[in-house]
Structure 1
């Protein structure tokens, strides 16, 4: 499953929906308490009589005692708000049953039985978008992690694997397309009633069950696997969206081919379906043979989708397809093992995207996400290992730690093993555990055995939370360069006194005069401190460290600005070059924001940055996609993470000041870049994508130094744009300034795309993320807009998640931004608890802020915690954030 990759909430006028009072302290689930389920469910038959307001589900379960578990006279079938119509056991009445909360507990005396359970649902009333729900006249499901229990009573846990046969009956006029997992067995049409039967031959857990019914059309294609089987491919969308599915289909075919070539994994069914759904909590879901996607990650054409949208679609489609093996054929024993499938699959989609585009740029993008989302998580109250020890609500653990840090941990194994040996390790994993519900330990042991590694100490990466801090000191004596390294894994909630972990670091030592090095080396810091000696240096070299971001650590070193300028201009590792540029700017912005620099020092450090960026502008050997990364400033959020008691207003001022200096000092070179870039016609080539990236970046620098002139240039770009990347980039710049150009462009954008929900989401986001001084008032007004609704997660995220990610507005000194997000959480929680809970971490960073803002953020968390009707999702996030 892909968590929503979008950047959320309103004022106190939100009308609170009614909700049942939830227990204030949901039970804690602990990994150490895992025991196998007492009963197996080899086969499951589901019969659906479908309707938007009333659906009847008949579930027939063949159950038998599990010889690997302790015997139990009862079977617990999980439910969540279900209406039990009838229950039969072996064809007769079932007297031995009782309700325990939402669960159905049945007494079974023999070794095997057939249970028939009938439930009735109202999909139209399911605003939580978990289980079976209605979306714009369609019916669809989302069952990960615990949504299946909202459909029927079942042992809703990932280690209970079953083969599913699904029969659906529905009025043809309402639901002419009926889809489920696996292969289509039959389709009957009597003119009014449509009946479809689907069978998935591969045992799966209930969280991978899927059903879609609606009025849909499909782009159809095929793929021939490496063994010669022909697989039918379909991308299902609403009528009118078909023309925007070509990129999705091509991305699917590229994913299938890449997985065969890179990991040796072949698709295993005759059919692969993707369905685009407008109302969806996540990015997409990997249900076996029937992937359900947020429309955001399916629909694209140049007029409505940016280059980033295109890349996102390719990456998410790859992610869900790769889950077919890393998640479906081998699933999780329990939810503590979530990174087993998600961390591994994120790595696989990252490697795929690297191969499909610019590998260095993709690596930088992935590290930016890690630092922007996971590093703060690791240093805050929500810190947890990639394999957590406990949880109260599993939906809260679909986190950047489990996904993105999990991917980095497996990437380190790949670095230690080398590509060929790592492939042998993954082959061992797939062969050894196919058809099983496995653990993270199973994966590590497979890599150990297949790649010939000893990963005993490496396992600490799975059990210890926190981002390791690596201190670096390079000295020179005689003809030797001496590198002293030490590591510290900070204390996190529930964990202190961490042990040293193996940290693979790729390094190079540059001759300062020649601008070259003798070759990249891999060193491993596996102690609290260690010293590495490198002979053959007549003078002290310049160190390039953690090249390619070989380890997810924070490098701490006192490096002179002139060495950073040197690396930014000459390092042959693209990531290390980017890192030097970022370090140069971060060091200045942190010091300037803290008031540690006098005027002379500020001007000198600004001059270093200008010189470094100038060298990037002038370097004709750099591709423009990479040039755009090298010239980009670190985000305000990232800078705040480097400062204790951060003052967002001061950081904003210093960052805008630096941007203006760069725009003014390098105006000529920036305008030359822009003029060159605007000559390239639209295409999806790397060259054209790089040109579009540069145009928006140049505008952002110029508007800081020359608002009037840059606004006119942005307005011209907006008017002449023949693609969404250029149009959105220009509008992004215009939203941050006052003037007729801003008003006219926003009105034109809305009128031009008002029938396209995904593009109108952009319209909301651009305004919520703007640097405009009245951004809070704009967000309040947008919350009252006729196109805004709390019932669609995309729309909620487009406005309020964008605002929560905008430190200029969210961290307003008055605290109004914090109140807005708290009000949203309280208003959204009874409607869609899973989405509401994802807004809490923005307030949970209160410990990082200066005392005034810190108190205001904590006050809002306490206000949320005091609410009488909080969901388990939000309750857990708030209480952990408060500490």
Structure 2
């Protein structure tokens, strides 16, 4: 077994660097096999710390020269570092020349090749794979970059900032020189050299300045870039309008690449994107793809200020930029829709994702605070906790200070810290200082525990109504999650509350000793372990509507039964809690059946409630689809101490089939009356109708196959053949796969034939087969065969995620097999990936985080697979950290 491990990095050990790098001049002679990099830096001693040697990060580089002020200097190598001891006394210029081999860089970190072009990915620590440098986020420099390459092979040469010069060179080569006037850390460096074409648009911002926007793609993909460009324009306009943050460069560029470990990267002025989040036409992209492109384009553009202009002091502060920018892209997406219902649907979808991914993370071996205290590999901490929970922390700040107050806080934040590398504390302090009379300012020390303590808090609520005094007393009590650790202190939890009468009437929420108010919703702040709130002038026993809009990322136990939940489902004015009531009704029935406390048959009260939702003339189609979709198997598993994945799957499939049959006429009504006609538009109204129609079709196919009726599968197959857009075509194919219809196989063949030359659509083709409901091992067998399909490649992250990720992470019944074959399949794939792309392997390894929840025989078999991976002699430190934490091993110092 390999005994060397990466060192444990602790937040408490942070120290400023002994040197600053103020300017960087990079020259690249680009060649796939041997790229020459000349790196000229002006280096300044940090006189605030003791003098020491200059230790530059470097990985897989061939060093050819080191000069200080033009003179050769001696140096030595240490693992991961180039160390220079004898340097000039004052500030100096350092020149380093080295080569690297982009075509052999299968890690896709640093400078690599894809599709005949050069691309970079430097976050978090990829720049050290390009040249020797102080590769840490608090070292910010002004970059000038010159690129040289074959003009025929690489006609487009791009880097950060503004283009200052370009021209031809001898031997059929050419050059381009770029200058970024804003200091940035090395992780924001980028270059692209490839044969690309661009969609361009000139815009004038509110300040009157002119800018060029460009979306660069491979030839043949230009027709798929309109939506990405529209999203970019909308992002620029929104950020200036909402937060007064303008575009600050002459141009802003997006480049799409097919081989990319992440979704996208916010390099200053030159965002590099996974093609998944750029390319879209109605024929090739679903409504979900369109919304995803808008969100990710917005996210990366908003990083221009929240991440680039103000960046992280160290990687422990990663949520400073990511959590804040997640919040900003969520707000952008909600502001882009017109109706309150569409905003609510977006919020529900975000919370559903948080609960399915981040809540389990917060309860498992990878649990960590939003601001982690230590790590072995920082790539492993690009997590849902840092991103999505971090976004919820920022949202709570806005809840506590109000929308306008939050905007004031953002203004103060940039006034104080523009051009700096700072901490999460600096951000929270700015928001509080700009709102000195707010609840956030009052509770700031306690509120910052959201950054420091892991785990999902539990809030218990119990109410008592007193008829003679017309008062309702609400008791709230909080407890830390089980992974918070010893000595966890109370969080500051904003809880938005409403009261609803049994008749459905919204009641006033007027607290005693306050000015009388007719408001029907208000904010409570729980900042102690326990508190009581008494509401007055309450005319009837209320049903409490708590945590409206999911005002805090907590697990709520309010003791409400079916009757109360039905009141909320039918009458609550808060869409989130209305959806939540429906989900809780379904979840209670699934859990009771899984535990054997009740039969897995749906009662008439629940079926009638779902029928009322489906037939309601008041509810939007998108909202109906969310309510009528049963809680996922993954979410159900997280409610249990011991998990039998096969039992959960059987119960959920049974209840889905019952809902399909009991509402057959209603599903037929929905399918026939809600069809979208006319030209495709990815707007919330049309998308909601398509979502509900596709759900109806899937239910009708499930019911039809169970009854031996071939009509509805036949209609679904026809839709696969002639649908006018990918949302409907994929929905029909999903209906056939989900019902195990005989027509699923020819539908898959036709789908592949139609889109054989569309890589992103073929990703869908793989993913749909891998995530189809398991039956008798059919899906597992198909997945193993698909590994050998001519279109499958483990080296492409999108393709690997579409098959292996979709199966292992998204198909619990297929993956968790009683014979352990699913775990063996996972172990083999993780080890294969680890040899070529350790970041991707580590992400795939996360599927086993919660193995200790499993019942036998799954638990023992899962542990054996984990130990096999952990024992591999050449396992990367990225994957070793993940499997080690899963097995309960503490990272070594």
TM class, shorter-chain normalised? over 0.9
After superposition, the Cα gap between the structure-2 partners of 1:514 and 1:30, relative to the gap in structure 1 and judged at 3 Å, is closer
* 1:413 counterpart = 2:402: no
Q: 1:82 touches 1:102 (CA, 8 Å); kept in 2?
A: no
Question: Which stretch has the larger CA shift, 356-365 or 295-304?
Answer: 356-365
Counterparts of 1:175-254 in structure 2, within 5 Å, are 175-190=154-169, 192-254=172-234
Q: CA RMSD in A?
A: 1.3
* 1:874 counterpart = 2:875: no
Shift of 1:669: 1.2
- Cα displacement string for residues 42-65 of structure 1 (whole angstroms, at most 9, x for unaligned residues): 100000000111100000011011
Shift of 1:704: 3.0
Shift of 1:772: 4.0
Matched with 1:732 is 734
Matched with 1:508 is 498
**Structure 2, unaligned stretches of length 5 or more?**
509-519, 889-893
* 1:756 counterpart = 2:758: yes
Counterparts of 1:55-454 in structure 2, within 5 Å, are 55-68=35-48, 70-95=49-74, 97-107=75-85, 108-190=87-169, 192-357=172-337, 358-452=342-436, 453-454=441-442
Instruction: Tell me the SS of whatever aligns to 2:55.
Output: strand
Structure 1: how far apart are the matches of 2:750 and 2:804?
A: 23
Q: Which of 479, 482, 489 is the aligned partner of 1:491?
A: 482
After superposition, the Cα gap between the structure-2 partners of 1:679 and 1:255, relative to the gap in structure 1 and judged at 3 Å, is closer
Q: Which of 479, 482, 485 is the aligned partner of 2:473?
A: 482
- Cα displacement string for residues 185-224 of structure 1 (whole angstroms, at most 9, x for unaligned residues): 1011247111110000000000000000010000010221
Q: 1:561 touches 1:608 (CA, 8 Å); kept in 2?
A: no
Matched with 1:673 is 670
Instruction: Tell me the SS of whatever aligns to 1:522.
Output: strand
Structure 1: how far apart are the matches of 2:409 and 2:769?
A: 48
Shift of 1:740: 4.0
Runs of 4+ in 1 over 3 A off after TM superposition: 21-24, 736-740
- Cα displacement string for residues 748-796 of structure 1 (whole angstroms, at most 9, x for unaligned residues): 1111111111100000000000014200000000001111111100000
Shift of 1:683: 2.7
Structure 2: how far apart are the matches of 1:500 and 1:327?
A: 30
Structure 2: how far apart are the matches of 1:673 and 1:497?
A: 53
Q: 2:109 touches 2:129 (CA, 8 Å); kept in 1?
A: yes
Structure 1: how far apart are the matches of 2:761 and 2:738?
A: 19
Q: Which of 716, 731, 748 is the aligned partner of 1:714?
A: 716
- Cα displacement string for residues 539-565 of structure 1 (whole angstroms, at most 9, x for unaligned residues): 321111111000000111321111111
Q: 1:656 touches 1:704 (CA, 8 Å); kept in 2?
A: no
* 1:607 counterpart = 2:587: no
Matched with 2:533 is 532
Structure 1: how far apart are the matches of 2:270 and 2:538?
A: 59
After superposition, the Cα gap between the structure-2 partners of 1:536 and 1:335, relative to the gap in structure 1 and judged at 3 Å, is same
* 1:545 counterpart = 2:546: yes
Structure 2: how far apart are the matches of 1:24 and 1:572?
A: 58
Matched with 1:836 is 841
* 1:466 counterpart = 2:455: yes
Matched with 1:801 is 805
- Cα displacement string for residues 656-703 of structure 1 (whole angstroms, at most 9, x for unaligned residues): 111112111111111101101225333333332112101111123223
Instruction: Tell me the SS of whatever aligns to 1:761.
Output: helix
Q: 1:471 touches 1:556 (CA, 8 Å); kept in 2?
A: yes
Q: 1:645 touches 1:851 (CA, 8 Å); kept in 2?
A: no
Structure 2: how far apart are the matches of 1:692 and 1:440?
A: 41
* 1:623 counterpart = 2:620: yes
Structure 1: how far apart are the matches of 2:139 and 2:2?
A: 27
Q: 1:680 touches 1:688 (CA, 8 Å); kept in 2?
A: no
After superposition, the Cα gap between the structure-2 partners of 1:713 and 1:474, relative to the gap in structure 1 and judged at 3 Å, is farther
- Cα displacement string for residues 526-549 of structure 1 (whole angstroms, at most 9, x for unaligned residues): 111111111223432111111100
Structure 2: how far apart are the matches of 1:830 and 1:686?
A: 43
Shift of 1:607: 2.1
Shift of 1:655: 0.9
Matched with 2:595 is 594
Q: 1:393 touches 1:872 (CA, 8 Å); kept in 2?
A: yes
Structure 1: how far apart are the matches of 2:739 and 2:782?
A: 13
TM-score by length of 1: 0.95
Shift of 1:611: 1.8
TM-score by length of 2: 0.94
Structure 2: how far apart are the matches of 1:536 and 1:875?
A: 60
Shift of 1:627: 1.7
Q: 2:361 touches 2:385 (CA, 8 Å); kept in 1?
A: yes
Question: Which stretch has the larger CA shift, 30-39 or 221-230?
Answer: 221-230
* 1:643 counterpart = 2:640: yes
Instruction: Tell me the SS of whatever aligns to 2:225.
Output: helix
Structure 2: how far apart are the matches of 1:356 and 1:90?
A: 54
Question: Which stretch has the larger CA shift, 685-694 or 705-714?
Answer: 705-714
After superposition, the Cα gap between the structure-2 partners of 1:739 and 1:462, relative to the gap in structure 1 and judged at 3 Å, is closer
Q: Larger relative contact order (C-alpha < 8 A, sep ≥ 6)?
A: 1
Q: 2:504 touches 2:572 (CA, 8 Å); kept in 1?
A: no
Matched with 1:562 is 563
Instruction: Tell me the SS of whatever aligns to 2:780.
Output: helix
Matched with 2:891 is none
Structure 1: how far apart are the matches of 2:390 and 2:2?
A: 32
Aligned pairs, number:
856
